[in-house]
A and B are shown apart, each in its own frame.
Chain A
Amino acid sequence: MTGIVTGGWEFVWAAYGITAAVLVAYGLRLAVGLRKGKEHDER
């Protein structure tokens, strides 16, 4: 037992991947909402 963490890249990728995926999904949701609103205004 050295108290030093070795490896662990899978945790790093998981943290970045989940963050990026959630931010992209939220951005897409906003884009869809704005597009729907624009289409509604044009009608």
Chain B
Amino acid sequence: METAPAFSPKAVRGAIAALGVGVLLLAIGWYVGLFVAPPEHYMGEVQRIMYVHVPTAWNAMLVLSFAFLCALAFLWKNDWKWDARLEAAVEMGVLLSFLLCVQGAIWAKPTWGVWWDWDPRLTTTAVMLVAFVGILALRHLVDDPRKRAVWSSVATVISYASVPIVYFSVRWWNSLHQVQSTPQTVDSAMVTPLRIAALGMLFVWIAFVTLRSQLARRRLAQELAPPPFTTATVAAGGEG
């Protein structure tokens, strides 16, 4: 018989504490980025989008990497807690990748003059988003928990190939998008709020993935529970 992982109130309490830390760090990072850090020479105030866009990009890649590890762990260990974590991580990865595309479009308009361009970085990011949306759709459509878990784990391992392609796309191809910045190429007044916001977003997604995986655990417990014992009581002559 399949054993579903138990719902953990302790994990929920830990996630709420992590969420509080994350929101605080995000608020500090964003405040410093918006009101204290200097504007960039060429992009002016619009460059302040960096303090939300870059942390979203880093964390989207991190959470999708976590989803990849969850998929491998489920296929290796056959433990349902990894399926619950996979579901949560893919959902969070889709959410952050979607936000990444929206923020990028908002930044592109005043700097590139267009909302969207089919350049290598943007195109590979769109492909990555569609691939992981497909995994969520697959999980939604398949009712059998075992088939759903195995198929979505395999699909996650395959789709994860898009993540390093997105990262290296700006180096491999001639992209309109700039290459990755480093602390050596960014002013220290800009690096500090960037790191604080990135750390804040890390805590936020860890909290959300923990809470979402608890919801998945609860659903799995219902799906994997044995059917209720039914007795057909035939009361011979019991009527009337």
- Are A30 and B211 in contact, with the CB atoms below 8 A? yes
Chain A residues whose CB sits within 8 angstroms of the CB of B30 once the complex forms = 16
Closest CB-CB distance, B35 to chain A, in whole Å? 11
CB pair B208 A27 closer than 8 Å:
yes
CB-CB under 8 A from B7, the residues of chain A are: 37, 41
Which of B76-84, B107-115, B159-167 contacts the other chain? B107-115
CA distance A27 to B208 in the complex (A): 7
Tell me what chain B mostly uses at the interface: helix, strand, loop, or mixed.
Answer: helix
Interface of chain A residues 1 through 38 with chain B (CB within 8 A): 3-9, 11-12, 14-16, 18-19, 22-23, 26-27, 30, 33-34, 37
| C-alpha spacing A6/B110, complex, angstroms | 9
Asked if A27 meets B19 with Cβ closer than 8 Å, knowing A4-B44, A8-B45, A9-B45, the reply is: yes
B140 interfacial by beta-carbon distance below 8 Å: no
CA distance A26 to B215 in the complex (A): 13
Partner of B53 from the list A5, A15, A23, A33 (CB cut-off 8 Å) is A15
**Is the pair A18, B110 in contact by a Cβ cutoff of 8 Å?**
no
Tell yes or no: B56 within 8 A of A by CB. Answer: yes
- Tell me, in angstroms, the Cα distance from A9 to B107 when the chains sit together: 11
Q: Which B residues between 1 and 59 are near A, CB-CB below 8 angstroms?
A: 7, 12, 19, 30, 34, 41-46, 48-49, 52-53, 56
Chain A residues in 8 Å Cβ range of B212:
30
Contact check, B107 vs A3: say whether CB atoms are below 8 A apart.
no
**A11 and B44 contact, CB distance less than 8 A:** no
Q: Which residues of B contact A33 (CB under 8 A)?
A: 215
Contact B52 A5 (CB under 8 A): no
Q: Count the B residues whose beta carbon is within 8 Å of the partner chain — how many?
A: 33
Specify which chain A residues have a CB less than 8 angstroms from the CB of B109 in the assembled complex. Answer: 11
Residues B95 and A26 in contact, CB atoms below 8 Å apart: yes
**Binding site of A, secondary structure by majority: helix, strand, loop or mixed?**
helix
Known: A7-B44, A30-B212. A16 touches B111 (CB 8 A): no
A9 to B49 CA separation, bound complex (whole angstroms)? 10
Which residues of chain B have a CB within 8 Å of any CB of chain A?
7, 12, 19, 30, 34, 41-46, 48-49, 52-53, 56, 95, 98-99, 102-103, 106-107, 109-111, 204, 208, 211-212, 214-215, 218
Chain A interface (Cβ < 8 Å from any Cβ of B): 3-9, 11-12, 14-16, 18-19, 22-23, 26-27, 30, 33-34, 37, 41
Q: A18-B103, A37-B218 are in contact. List 12 more A-B contacts (CB 8 A).
A: A4-B44, A8-B44, A11-B109, A12-B49, A15-B103, A15-B107, A19-B103, A22-B95, A26-B95, A27-B208, A33-B215, A34-B214
Closest 10 CB pairs of A and B: A8-B46, A8-B110, A15-B49, A15-B106, A30-B211, A15-B103, A5-B44, A33-B215, A12-B48, A37-B218
